Each structure stands twice: as structure tokens, then as C-alpha cells.
Amino acid sequence: MRFLDTNVLLYAISTAPDEVAKRAVAQSLLDAEDWVLSVQVLQEFYVQATRVTKPERIQHEQAAALIEAWLRFKIQEITVPIVQAALEAKVRFQLSYWDAAIIEAARAAGCRQIYSEDLNAGQDYAGIRVINPFV
């Protein structure tokens, strides 16, 4: 199982001319079935995709339909133990809480890889390796 970060989902719906290549990569990734998302990733997607200040934002109905479609993947709930592990990882790896929560949700789901543009590509967070699919 592999974990997808929010930025992959956002690139998959991007209409920005300078993100055409990233959109193609993201859409290709979403064709696989072995992905894990977390509730946090779905929430972040919704907030960013529908943000009023975003020029190419999508409407609530579109975002909700995409989230519904992505429920075909394994979805990792955010639990108290994940929050506690994220708090520890935040300090240990000097990350934002939100990045640490992504790492710990991936760990809880049994993932060894996180596909993300936001975390340090190639870095290993105690057994969770980051892959930037856009490089």
C-alpha cells in the first residue's frame, strides 16, 4: 500500500496551464488501486479545491463527488493514537503538525511510501519513505 498526499489530488484536477504535466502524472497515479488516503487528506483537498480565493476552484458538488469516488481507496481514520504519534513525530523530525500527521497516518495504514511534493523527496521518516512523483 502507498499513501497519497493532498497535493497529488489537487494536481489531478488542476486546470492551470503550467501544471499540465503534473496533472497527467497525478491522474495516472490515481488509476492504480493500491493507494491509501487519510481523512485529513480528504479534508485538505476539499478546503483547497473549493477555496474562494483560488482562481480555478471547483464547486462543492464537484469536490464532494471526487471525494466520494476516492473512497474506493483505503481511507485511514485519524485516531487519538495517530494524533499522539504525530505530536511526537513533529518534534522528532522538526515538521509541521500536519505533515507529521500525514506520516503517522501512512504508518498506521501500513504504508512504506508517501507520494508527495510537499515533504522532502527521498527522506525516510523511520521507515516511511517520501517519493516526489513530479520530479
**Tens of pLDDT along 76-116?**
999 999 999 999 999 999 999 999 999 999 999 999 999 99
Residues in the chain: 135
Residue 55: what pLDDT? 83
Grid coordinates given for 5: 498526499
User: Per the structure, how many domains does the chain have?
Assistant: 1
Q: What are the tens digits of pLDDT across the range 9-63? A: 999 999 999 999 999 999 999 999 999 999 999 999 999 999 999 888 999 999 9
Grouping H, G, I as helix, E, B as strand and the rest as coil, residue 2 is: strand
Closest to 86 in 3D by CA, of 38, 34, 123, 47: 38
* Sign of the alpha-carbon dihedral angle for 55, 53, 64, 130: positive
Query: What domain range includes position 33?
Result: 2-77+112-131
Asked whether residue 92 is domain-assigned, the answer is no
Give bridge partners of residue 129 from the DSSP assignment: 113, 124
Give bridge partners of residue 114 from the DSSP assignment: 3, 130
Asked whether residue 84 is domain-assigned, the answer is no
Asked whether residue 18 is domain-assigned, the answer is yes
Asked whether residue 97 is domain-assigned, the answer is no
pTM: 0.94
- The gap from C-alpha 28 to its chain's centroid, in whole angstroms, comes to 15
Distance CA 71, CA 56 (A): 24
Asked whether residue 104 is domain-assigned, the answer is no
Asked whether residue 15 is domain-assigned, the answer is yes
Grid coordinates given for 51: 477555496
Q: How many helices (H) and strands (E) does the chain have?
A: 6, 5
